[in-house]
Amino acid sequence: MKICIIGAGASGMMAALAASERKTNIVTVFERQQRAGKKLSVTGNGRCNLTNTNASVTYYHGQSPEFAAFALSSFGPEEVRAYFKKLGLLTTEEYGGRVYPLSNSANSVLDVLRLRAVSCEIDIKTSCEAEIITKTAEGFKVTAGAETETFDRVIVACGGPAGRKAGGTESGIKLLKSLGHSCTALYPSLVQIRTDPVYPRALKGIKADCRISLFSCSEKRAETEGELLFTDSGVSGPAVFDISRQVSVGSGDDLYLMLDFLKDSSAEEVTEMIRQRIELMPELPCSDLLTGTVHNRLGRMVLKYSAIAQEKKISELSSSDVKKIAYSIKNFILKVAGTESFDNAQVTAGGIRTSEFDTETMESRIVPGLYACGEVLDIDGDCGGFNLQWAWASGRLAGLSASAGK
């Protein structure tokens, strides 16, 4: 059987390797970029967080996240680690179940996939963008550049528009639409949140371990805890990525973030802490009131936010000033302006409707013999290795199913 895979990213490489397990198959991969797996090599800040030991459908989103359940249970994180180990890639588990290559290099993940592809005689045609897929009586015709080839099965593994610098594109969505499929709205996810820049800009580069709540008017939309990084235009970091999807999808609503910089202490405890300091060192200027409690620059910004003069002596603070400062530390508000674009997003929320595919085979319900996997479909995961886990699981399922022709 001649099987064509469009896209040599994570899901496409995995689909190709699965399809080549049946020795009689001839497997061809078209890749529009100059080399295979370009996005893979920049994942996880160059370290590639390739899966998460907690992966289950609860970490995924889309109109029907349960679509992902079959693939994820067939080729879960344990199977993924065992698979890569067989290819020679050792992995290590870190905080929150995040799994990385022991080499700490994303290129190691790509290398073992490429080496295996060579040993399986998979033909990867790079700088070759598939532009047209036509269904014929016998199978499919795929046109890439000046050439048109015929295939029995086609797997679309083109990803989505997120991470444009690493090759993110809507090309696969367009190809699937041309064959009768439909797409949900697309949003950037796992992306920086843009806010009123005044405070973030002044705190640029500072990290804080905090609780982040997302509100629309007084309704709490989401809450998360972890590392936040202040940037020129807003906030970034793993905890911010976690709630960026809700910001992206809810854009247009009146959203704001509430940051709690001392999440493990109550407002009363913070107030008491400030009172003790005033008692112990009354001569200190207010600019040093929070020295040692939070990052120095953040401490001074909290005072500015509370409209307290930095040069004032702390002994001159009234009890309502103290309460105000404690309140500001635990309820620091940033008005949301939106998210950064697909260019800087790690993943696309939304995609081709999963209801148009068979959850157990990844085969199209509209065009028999056509399969899709990875981010091109309306499934996206949380930050922490869940998106690559979906790419591996759905890619392997598509490759095996196309090969078996269930």
Ligand X SMILES: Cc1cc2nc3c(=O)[nH]c(=O)nc-3n(C[C@H](O)[C@H](O)[C@H](O)COP(=O)(O)OP(=O)(O)OC[C@H]3O[C@@H](n4cnc5c(N)ncnc54)[C@H](O)[C@@H]3O)c2cc1C
Residue 312 bridge partners (DSSP): none
CB of 22 to ligand X, least distance (A): 21
* Whether 133 contacts 140, CB under 8 Å: yes
Per-residue contact flags (x/-) with ligand X for residues 362 to 381, judged by CB under 6 A:
------------xxx-----
Kindly state whether residue 224 participates in binding ligand X, applying the rule CB under 6 A: no
Kindly state whether residue 161 participates in binding ligand X, applying the rule CB under 6 A: no
* Structure tokens belonging to residue 366: 């509209």
Kindly state whether residue 245 participates in binding ligand X, applying the rule CB under 6 A: no
Instruction: Select the residue whose beta carbon is closest to ligand X and give its number.
Output: 9
**300-to-260, 293, 309, 391 alpha-carbon distances in Å:** 16, 11, 10, 45
Comparing CA positions, the residue from 69, 77, 117, 106 lying closest to residue 354 is: 69
Kindly state whether residue 208 participates in binding ligand X, applying the rule CB under 6 A: no
Kindly state whether residue 48 participates in binding ligand X, applying the rule CB under 6 A: yes
Instruction: Give residues with Cβ within 8 angstroms of 26, minimum separation 6.
Output: 1, 2, 3, 123
Per-residue contact flags (x/-) with ligand X for residues 283 to 312, judged by CB under 6 A:
------------------------------
What per-residue string of b and e applies to 92-123 under the rule 16 or more CB within 10 Å gives b? eeeeebbbbbebebbbbbbbbbbebbeeeebe
β-bridge pairing 140-144 and 147-151: antiparallel
Euclidean distance between CA atoms 220 and 68, whole angstroms: 28
Kindly state whether residue 181 participates in binding ligand X, applying the rule CB under 6 A: no
CB of 52 to ligand X, least distance (A): 8
At 49 the three-state DSSP class reads coil
Smaller CB distance to ligand X: residue 145 or 180? 145
Please identify which residue in 4, 27, 31, 371 interacts with ligand X, judged by CB under 6 A.
31
β-bridge pairing 332-339 and 219-230: unpaired
Euclidean distance between CA atoms 300 and 201, whole angstroms: 14
Euclidean distance between CA atoms 92 and 101, whole angstroms: 6
Smaller CB distance to ligand X: residue 59 or 215? 59
CB of 137 to ligand X, least distance (A): 24
Smaller CB distance to ligand X: residue 123 or 279? 123
Please identify which residue in 4, 7, 153, 322 interacts with ligand X, judged by CB under 6 A.
7
Kindly state whether residue 234 participates in binding ligand X, applying the rule CB under 6 A: no
Kindly state whether residue 391 participates in binding ligand X, applying the rule CB under 6 A: yes
Which residues, numbered 104-143, are part of the site for ligand X (CB under 6 A)?
Answer: 129-130
Kindly state whether residue 33 participates in binding ligand X, applying the rule CB under 6 A: yes
CB of 307 to ligand X, least distance (A): 39
Smaller CB distance to ligand X: residue 94 or 272? 94
Please identify which residue in 385, 398, 401, 402 interacts with ligand X, judged by CB under 6 A.
385
What per-residue string of b and e applies to 189-211 under the rule 16 or more CB within 10 Å gives b? bbbbbbbbbebbeebeebebebb
Per-residue contact flags (x/-) with ligand X for residues 11 to 30, judged by CB under 6 A:
xx-----------------x
**187-to-32, 168, 250, 254, 337 alpha-carbon distances in Å:** 23, 13, 10, 18, 15
Q: Which residues bind ligand X (CB under 6 A)?
A: 6-12, 30-33, 38-40, 42-44, 48-49, 129-130, 157-159, 162-163, 166-169, 171-172, 346-347, 374-376, 385-388, 391
